[in-house]
Amino acid sequence: MSNVIGKGKPYRRRIWFLMAVAILIWSLLVVVLHGLANEFITWSITNSGVLADTGKGLVGKDIGSAVDALNLKGLSLSQLYFIQSILEPASVLLWAVGVVAIIAAPSLGARIIKMFSTRSQTDV
């Protein structure tokens, strides 16, 4: 009877093990996504001049001179630098929210199951 849910240590050990594995997978996922996003933004910053010049060449001289007058290249660079500066705190916040959700999941799941099981027993 020690393997019954809510009684005995084997169940708790499994829950803690599953939570540790879930936190490990979540951490790896956040690190990989942060790295990919950071590399993409860095690539965009590095190649923004080339991309802007290519775009001006495609649309023609008249529109290209209008784009130069608006200085969209400088504006897009400042936006990319801003996004890059926000990326790391956002990644840490996303990771923390995920870890809290993983840790809270067993407790919330047990309460939800208990709530629905008592409702179904009283409804009968």
3-class SS letters over 112-124? HHHHHHHHHHHHC
Structure tokens at 33: 């996504």
Per-residue pLDDT, 77:
79
Q: What is the pLDDT of residue 52?
A: 67
pLDDT in tens, the chain (124 residues): 445 555 557 777 888 899 999 999 999 999 999 999 999 999 888 887 777 666 666 666 666 666 666 665 666 778 888 998 999 999 999 999 999 999 998 888 878 888 888 765 665 5
Q: Write out the two tokens for 53.
A: 């010049």
What are the structure tokens assigned to 54, written together?
Answer: 């290519």
